[in-house]
Amino acid sequence: WFFDAELQMAVEKRLSIETDLHLAITNNHLELYYQIQMNGENIPIGAEGLLRWNHPDRGLVLPDEFISIAEESSLINDLGLWVLDSACRQLKIWQLNEKTRNLEIAINISAVQFKEPNFVETVQLYITTHHINPTNLKLELTESVALENLELVVIKMAKLKEIGVGLSLDDFGTGYSSLTYLKKLPFDQIKIDRQFVSHVATDISDAVMVKTIIGLANNLKMSVIAEGVETDQQIAYLKQYGCNLYQGYFFSKPIPIKEFEALIGLDF
């Protein structure tokens, strides 16, 4: 037998993360951080809710470290439900305040979670349970959801739109980016990936890509939001090309709810 110490360590680390994640869900060690989304008039339109794990020993753990492990086990569905529940719970609180009742929360939905047979019914259940306006909830999906059964995906998305939920295409331009998918899938919004936004002012090919995505979105009657916005210059280019919704460190990094509410000038 050939013993590989590095491989053994990797396996042990993976098992440890999986075990700890189970406990995190049970013991409420998870938290949603919120990254503000702004329009061209510098008015907040909502936020993306991003999962964070407050590990008792390791401190704050970012999704890059655990989402792929969760996706390869059944844990991704448990995490997804936790995020959906938390977002709906927050929307309910915001709906009770005149200043925040129109704010949206966008959350990421994994392809694994979306494939669950009762996914649409689950979303409806949380909306009903928390008595929220469904139009304030936005689900961000990547193109990978459409890789297996396009017809079924289109039916599911149509049902979600009937409920009133918004659908945003995340990471557009970084993956498969088939225009066939884009034409058939009933998205409300396209999100321009940060890798194009970060060089929009300095790299001609990225600028062309951004212009093309915005043109596509306009022609397909979809809104478009740019993520990873960090400079005035990037905003100037995005505005010039017709993109008027932004998210990024220029406005704020993802922050806990109390900090977010202070950022938008909410007093309780």
The pLDDT of residue 76 is 92
The pLDDT of residue 268 is 47
Instruction: Considering only the C-alpha atoms of the chain, give the largest distance between any 2 of them, rounded to a whole number of Å.
Output: 67
**Rounded distance between C-alpha atoms, residue 193 and residue 206, angstroms:** 11
**Identity of residue 171:** D
**In terms of Cα–Cα distance, which of 76, 81, 106 is closest to 91?**
106
The pLDDT of residue 2 is 55
The pLDDT of residue 224 is 96
Work out whether the CA dihedral 236, 241, 246, 249 comes out positive or negative: negative
Q: What is the Cα 49 distance to its own chain's centre?
A: 7
Check: CB of residue 24 under 8 Å from CB of residue 242. Answer: no
The pLDDT of residue 72 is 84
Work out whether the CA dihedral 184, 219, 234, 50 comes out positive or negative: negative
The pLDDT of residue 191 is 95
Pairing of strands 104-108, 59-61: unpaired
State the 10-residue block means of pLDDT for the chain, 268 residues long. 69 81 88 97 97 89 86 89 97 96 97 94 98 98 82 95 96 68 88 93 92 92 96 95 96 97 82
What predicted TM-score, i.e. pTM, was given to this entire model? Answer: 0.92
DSSP tag of 2? -
